[in-house]
Amino acid sequence: MTERVTIIGGGSWGTALARLVASNNHQVLIYLRDQIVRDYINQEHINYKYFPEYDLPTNVRATTDLEEGIDFASIIILAIPTQQTREIMQKISIYLKRDQVICSTAKGFEEESFLRNSEVISENCRLATAVLSGPTHAEEVMEGLPTAVVVASKDLKLAQRIQDLMMTSYFRVYTNPDLVGVEVGGAVKNVIAVASGITDGLGYGDNTRATLITRGLHEMSRLGAYLGGQLLTFAGLTGMGDLVVTCNSMHSRNRRFGIKIGRGIPLKQALESVNQVVEGVKTTSAIYQWFQQRDYGFQLPITTEIYQVLFREKNPYQAVEDLMLRGPKHEFEEVVQEISKKGM
Residue 145's DSSP bridge partners are: none
How far apart, in whole angstroms, are the C-alpha atoms of residue 287 and residue 187?
10
> Angle 95-100-106 (CA atoms, 0-180°, nearest 5)?
90
Which among 238, 258, 245 has a CA at the least distance from the CA of 186? 238
Q: Which of 91, 107, 157, 189 is catalytic?
A: 189
Q: Cβ contacts of residue 329 below 8 Å, gap of 6+?
A: none
How far apart, in whole angstroms, are the C-alpha atoms of residue 4 and residue 22?
10
How far apart, in whole angstroms, are the C-alpha atoms of residue 212 and residue 200?
11
Sort residue 191 into left (φ over 0), alpha (ψ -120 to 50) or beta. Answer: alpha
DSSP-derived letter for residue 109 is B
How far apart, in whole angstroms, are the C-alpha atoms of residue 195 and residue 254?
9
Is residue 342 part of the annotated active site? The answer reads no
Distance of CA 266 to the CA centre of its chain: 24
Which among 33, 59, 314, 34 has a CA at the least distance from the CA of 195? 314
Coil vs helix vs strand at 257: helix
Q: Which residues are catalytic?
A: 189
